[in-house]
Amino acid sequence: MSEDATRPLDLRPQVKGEGEGEGEGEGRRFGPRRWWPWAVAAAVGGLALAAAAAVSPVLDVDDVVVRGLSGRRAAQVRDAAGVRTGEAMVALDGGAAASSVEELPWVRSATVRRSWPGRVVVEVQERTPVAALAGGGRWVLVDGDGHRLARVRQPPAGVVAVEGVDALGQSGTRVDRRAAGAVELSRRLPPAVRFRLPRVQVDPDGRLDLMLRIEDERDAVAAFGRPEQLRDKVLSLATVLESVDLRGLSRIDLRIPGAPVLTRIPTAP
């Protein structure tokens, strides 16, 4: 019998599966497709489990640990981070929490991370004061970058006192240019010089003098002049203090760091 010319043509490719023969059309048509409902169901189930885990009390924040600080300042860091116990761990925005902590004047850097299953760890690097600006019966602590940290009644041990500069300004802001030179000098002083209870005096033009305890209750002046070549001037000062007889020494002129000039108290004939 001849084919009916009016019969519509089936242009779909006829592909047989491996091992399929004639008469296996039903298996060829439906066999590979029978798995897709199960795949969709598995994906939906996985999403449902993830959503359930996210809101589960098992993965809530149980504890916020601050490392690098203790006491009152650690409590301030917790408050600034804004992470509360009972919140979902997966909802933690560590970057935003760290940025909030770094807004505290005495914090140099902070990182916030999860420690599963329920702990949040805040690691803080604190700014270290190197100078204390005198003014108004209080002292303003300043770190080596010139950031004002806090106002205190007395500067802690090892911090260099600075006189003759403006001690006003909000914590977290930078000192002005005149004070910056004194802070830079304070930062560069080695322990052997700090041991001599140094005090920096700044004149109206920004020139620097360093008062040092030389013998008993007597001080000497180390004249640094302009806040330039401070590294070389500090090295020259340390060399003088280690290598010369300090008895009667009243002034060390370091304005030319390679050629310090020493002045002594005149002695009676």
Residue 235 belongs to domain with CATH number: 3.40.50.10960
Q: Are residues 135 and 255 in the same domain?
A: yes
- Whose tokens are 């599966």? That residue is 17
| pLDDT at res. 202 | 97
**Looking at residue 145, what is its pLDDT?**
95
pLDDT at 54: 45
37 exposure class (CB count in 10 Å sphere: 0-12, 13-18, 19+): exposed
Same domain, 216 and 110: no
Domain boundary among 84, 99, 126: 126
pLDDT tens for 122-164 read: 999 999 999 999 987 889 999 999 999 999 999 999 999 999 9
Specify whether 195 is located in the same domain as 143: yes
Mean pLDDT of 22-48: 53
pLDDT of residue 8: 55
Q: For the chain, how long is the longest CA-to-CA vector?
A: 147
Read off the pLDDT of each residue in 197-225 and give the average, rounded to a whole number: 95
Query: d(Cα 133, Cα 170) in Å, to the nearest integer?
Result: 13
pLDDT of residue 37: 60
Q: Are residues 102 and 133 in the same domain?
A: no
10 part of a folded domain: no
CATH of the domain at 73: 3.10.20.310
Range(s) of the domain holding residue 258: 129-264
User: For the chain, what is the mean pLDDT?
Assistant: 85
Question: Average pLDDT in the 163-179 region?
Answer: 92
| Residue 158 sits in the same domain as residue 70 | no
Please say if the pLDDT value at position 209 is more than 70. yes
189 plus 224 within the same structural domain: yes
> In this structure, is residue 41 part of a structural domain?
no
> 252 and 183 in one domain?
yes
Quote the number of domains for the chain: 2
Residue 233 belongs to some domain of the structure: yes
